[in-house]
Amino acid sequence: MKILITGAAGFIGSHTAERLQKMGHHVIGVDNFSPYYDPQLKALNARSLNENSIEIITLDLRVDDLVAALPLDLDFIFHFAAHPGISNTSSFQDYYTNNILATHRLLEFAENLPEKPFFVNIATSSIYGLEATFSETVPPKPASWYGVTKLAAEQLVMAKTRAEKLRATSFRLFSVYGPRERPDKLYTRLIDCGLNAKKFPLFEGSEKHLRSFTYVQDIVDGIVSVIGKEEICNGEIFNLGTETENTTAAGIAAVEEILNRKIALEKKPPRAGDQSRTKANIDKARKLLVYNPQTSLRDGLEAQAEWFKKNFV
């Protein structure tokens, strides 16, 4: 099958592209190489994809001519591209254009193709709000621009299924970590601080936050399981993540143990919109997708530390 992946040079998108290629599919990637974080990291991911014969098209979904730039005979679209996370340096316009407008334009492109592809939207547990411990049927209460705009994007996708204009599904991902994690995220930053004697900025109270830290390959398992289950997934929303919770403090301790060194902490004021708890309720994914994440936090962090040492030390 021919598959388009947006945000393919990013963290989870690049891993998914490689997995789908190994499964025997023809994968085309799209990325705008946003400067939200160091584009050199995305370039590193893109090189890995190119080495696996995966083409990456530099394209901005918000403004570029999608019909002219993209193949028109697609079986699937996996939509990862977004303005991520909670950032004091990002404006509402950044979130709106990248998460809502870009999704709208991609949906219009897909809807007007001769053979409509199955559309897989990649959403986030931030949709639920300050606590994300619920099933997919609970009304969301996002508390950040990121969560609000990702919910809006998800509903644009679901509206297409309700109107029977596209077949689609949406996956809400929980606290993903592993090799290629963004440099602003918890574990890449912790590993960097530990190996390079930097101070780790710890937001006040965040050491007690509980997270369903989920290894990236366990997330990819759930995402690619949609293939062959299109009728089951059409119009449905699924949580993907581990049911195991760990505090941020436990995560810090695990990294210190793996690196065999103490990490200096620099206390920062609390961050508005930050979730206090995420615990993935995956009953629906277990039942319908036979989803079963297995990687322990320790094993996943060891793999991430090795990736960091290989590429940045």
pLDDT digits (tens, 9 = 90+) for 72-93: 999 999 999 999 887 778 999 9
Cα 32 to chain centroid, rounded:
16
Q: Which residue has the tokens 């316009």?
A: 93
Q: Is 240 exposed, middle or buried (0-12, 13-18, 19+ CB in 10 A)?
A: buried
181 located within any domain: no
Please state, in angstroms and rounded to a whole number, the distance separating the CA atoms of residues 218 and 45. Answer: 19
Could you tell me if 160 and 15 lie in one domain? yes
Q: Which of 36, 37, 128, 146 is catalytic?
A: 146
140 located within any domain: yes
286 located within any domain: no
Could you tell me if 136 and 201 lie in one domain? no
Average pLDDT estimate for 89-100: 95
Could you tell me if 24 and 92 lie in one domain? yes
290 located within any domain: no
Please state, in angstroms and rounded to a whole number, the distance separating the CA atoms of residues 154 and 151. Answer: 5
Could you tell me if 235 and 248 lie in one domain? no
285 located within any domain: no
**In this structure, how many other beta carbons lie within 10 angstroms of the beta carbon of residue 84?**
24
Residue ranges making up the domain that contains 262:
186-210+244-278+295-312
Task: Check residue 156 and give its pLDDT.
Answer: 98
Whole-number percent of the chain with pLDDT over 90: 90
Could you tell me if 136 and 192 lie in one domain? no
Concerning whether 36 is annotated as a catalytic residue, the answer is no
Q: Angle at Cα 144 formed by Cα 98 and Cα 209, nearest 5°?
A: 125
What CATH number does the domain containing 206 carry?
A: 3.90.25.10
Could you tell me if 192 and 226 lie in one domain? no
Q: Is 51 exposed, middle or buried (0-12, 13-18, 19+ CB in 10 A)?
A: exposed
Q: By the 8 A CB rule, do 167 and 118 touch?
A: yes
Q: How confident is the model at residue 220 (pLDDT cuts 50, 70, 90)?
A: very high
284 located within any domain: no
Task: Check residue 39 and give its pLDDT.
Answer: 85
Could you tell me if 105 and 58 lie in one domain? yes
Task: Check residue 16 and give its pLDDT.
Answer: 98
Could you tell me if 138 and 19 lie in one domain? yes
Could you tell me if 206 and 225 lie in one domain? no
Q: How confident is the model at residue 155 (pLDDT cuts 50, 70, 90)?
A: very high
Task: Check residue 76 and give its pLDDT.
Answer: 98
How confident is the model over 169-209, as pLDDT tens digits? 999 999 999 999 999 999 999 999 999 999 999 988 889 99
For the chain, the three-class secondary structure string (H helix, E strand, C coil) is CEEEEECCCCHHHHHHHHHHHHCCCEEEEEECCCCCCCHHHHHHHHHHHHHCCCEEEECCCCCCCHHHHCCCCCCEEEECCCCCCCCCCCCHHHHHHHHHHHHHHHHHHHHCCCCCCEEEEEEEHHHCCCEECCCCCCCCCCCCHHHHHHHHHHHHHHHHHHCCCCCEEEEEECCEECCCCCCCCHHHHHHHHHHHCCCEEEECCHHHCEECCEEHHHHHHHHHCCCCCHHHHCCCEEEECCCCCEEHHHHHHHHHHHHCCCCCEEEECCCCCCCCEECCCCHHHHHHHCCCCCCCHHHHHHHHHHHHHHHHC
In the chain, how many domains are there?
2
What CA–CA distances, in Å, run from 292 to 33, 172, 215?
Answer: 32, 15, 12
pTM (predicted TM-score): 0.96
**Which residue has better confidence, 276 or 30?**
30
| Average pLDDT along the chain | 96
Q: How confident is the model at residue 40 (pLDDT cuts 50, 70, 90)?
A: confident
What CA–CA distances, in Å, run from 211 to 67, 95, 280?
Answer: 40, 24, 9
Amino acid (one-letter) located at 144 = S
Could you tell me if 23 and 109 lie in one domain? yes
227 located within any domain: yes
Q: Which residue has the tokens 């947006």?
A: 6
Task: Check residue 27 and give its pLDDT.
Answer: 98
Could you tell me if 92 and 224 lie in one domain? yes
What CATH number does the domain containing 33 carry?
A: 3.40.50.720
Could you tell me if 252 and 272 lie in one domain? yes
32 located within any domain: yes
